[in-house]
Chains A and B, each alone.
Chain A
Amino acid sequence: MAHEHKLEIFRGLWKFKSNTQKIWGVLAFLTLVTTVEVILGIIKPEFLTKTYFLEMKLLNWIFIILTLVKAYYIAWDFMHLRDEKSSLRRAIVWTPIFLVVYLITILLFEATYIYDVFKNGFMAWDF
């Protein structure tokens, strides 16, 4: 079996000489992202918690986006999706994304509705 690896990340901005080096590079990047997340989680800068975008705090958007970034590099470089055929990669990635986005949309709308019912439909439920 041939094992060619694509040895660049960030769309060619960061090139590596060997697969082993690429692995350490990805580790450095993932550690950096996790550190940023933890630091943001501890200090919680006020302008990020006070600003809302699409009804969610900016800080939470940052967390979710950074998580997806980490997930991308784990799947692409650790699970070698970068080296697979694009048909396999698309089948693996888009199937869950489609289903999960659908589920999130449905359930979070429903939850917000139930929240409104609790808030407006009862004299008190928090007693």
Chain B
Amino acid sequence: MDTTATTGTEENVWGGGNKPLGASYGKLMMWFFIVSDALTFSGFLVAYGFSRFKFIETWPIADEVFTHVPFFHGNYPMIYVAFMTFILIMSSVTMVLAVDAGHHMKQKKVIIYMFLTIIGGAIFVGSQAWEWATFIKGDYGALETKGGRVLQFVKADTGDRAAIADFATVLNEDRIANTRDKGVWFNADANTLTSLSLNEVITGFKANPNILIRTEKINEEGEKTLLNREQSLLKLNDAVRVVEGANLVRNEYGSRLFADFFFFITGFHGFHVFSGVVINIIIFFNVILGTYERRGHYEMVEKVGLYWHFVDLVWVFVFTFFYLV
């Protein structure tokens, strides 16, 4: 190793230079980092499990939330996330191929495979950004009750979800956003004005007998409980505000913690992918410049490879616990 000083006593067992784990210093340190980072992610995912078990009867159902595919309209639960998973696994494969080419000292091949890996990572980060944007924007809208529970709407005849814009009556009333100077500093928020007011949704609901309310509660069939028309009208009295899309305080999908964990876990993972892409780009240029050709080995590629596979490994777990289970 070029980075290690030789002392001339390596031949003795206790003289140093032994490699009991058969791995170089750099690789071992990368493994240390990966193990500790794995524990961080485990902490997040187990915290998610904690909150979910705590609210097991009311937790949002993931395939009702993530149903969009870019450039396509309609309901395609899971398809896009499955595509993202495949992209990440694929970029993991090109990374191993780069490492393998590095072992054979084939600079050209390493360049090509590193490039493909970077492209894969970029597609993944872009997809995640799109997924976030869709999640934040929301699609149906909902009402929130005094207790912070979310009421969603369903068309009685088809059983499909109804967007609040579909049935709300536009009243053209004067609406004032809460601001600090109105004395409501505790909920001062530029977003307090939703596209429809609570009054408009309630009026529209009363005028449209085809709309029913769906509560957060999961019934024995594993579906959200649908109220009948009388129960729905009664439940409507509890509503205090309109919720559209998601932020860190409330979201139209259900439990508030759901959106918080979504932002936190996929955000932290997305940040890892982003930094992975940056590190890959740095190594990519080093490969082009011939740094590792001169050094005589491509161990740096192997080390960033380890990190890149780790990011893929974490996604496999995020995919399961956020989207499947």
Q: Please give the residue numbers on chain A whose beta carbons come within 8 Å of chain B beta carbons, in ascending order.
A: 1, 3, 19-20, 23-24, 26-27, 30-31, 34-35, 37-38, 41-42, 44, 49, 60, 63-64, 66-67, 70-71, 74-75, 77-80, 84-85, 87-88, 91-92, 95-96, 99-100, 103-104, 107-108, 110-112, 114-115, 118, 124-127
Contacts and interface: CB of A to CB of B under 8 A. Distances in A.
A9 B146 CA distance: 56
B317 A71 contact: yes
Contact of A85 (B22, B96, B103, B302): B22
B114 to A, nearest CB: 15
B49 A111 contact: yes
B170 interface: no
A115 B55 contact: yes
Interface in B21-70: 21-23, 28, 31, 34-35, 38-39, 42-43, 46-47, 49-58, 63
Given A19-B100, A78-B309, A104 B21 contact: no
A26 to B, nearest CB: 8
Contacts of B21: 84-85, 87-88, 91
Nearest to A111: B53
A34 B63 CA distance: 16
Contact of B325 (A38, A63, A108): A63
Contacts of A127: 145-147, 149, 238
23 contacts: A20-B97, A23-B97, A37-B320, A38-B78, A38-B82, A41-B63, A41-B78, A63-B325, A67-B316, A74-B316, A79-B310, A84-B23, A92-B31, A95-B35, A96-B35, A96-B39, A103-B42, A103-B46, A104-B49, A111-B52, A115-B53, A118-B54, A125-B147
Given A31-B89, A79-B305, A124-B147, 14 more contacts: A23-B97, A24-B93, A26-B93, A34-B85, A42-B63, A77-B96, A78-B93, A78-B95, A96-B42, A99-B42, A100-B39, A107-B47, A108-B49, A115-B57
B313 interface: yes
B58 A126 contact: yes
A64 B325 contact: yes
A49 B35 contact: no
Given A71-B313, A107-B46, A88 B23 contact: yes
Contact of B217 (A24, A38, A126): A126
Size class of the B contact interface (CB-based, 8 Å): 35 or more
A119 B208 CA distance: 34
Contact of B309 (A27, A74, A84, A108): A74
Nearest to B103: A3
B23 A112 contact: no
Contacts of B77: 41-42
A54 B324 CA distance: 19
Contact of B312 (A23, A31, A78, A103): A78
Contacts of B217: 126
B323 interface: yes
Contacts of A23: 93, 96-97, 100
B20 interface: yes
A85 B31 CA distance: 13
A52 B164 CA distance: 37
B41 to A, nearest CB: 10
A76 B89 CA distance: 14
A34 B306 contact: no
A99 B309 CA distance: 21
B241 to A, nearest CB: 15
A79 B316 CA distance: 15
Contacts of B316: 67, 70-71, 74
Contacts of B100: 19-20, 23
Contacts of A99: 39, 42
6 A-B pairs with least C-beta separation: A111-B53, A127-B147, A88-B21, A67-B320, A85-B22, A38-B82
A41 B323 contact: yes
A80 B90 CA distance: 17
B255 to A, nearest CB: 11
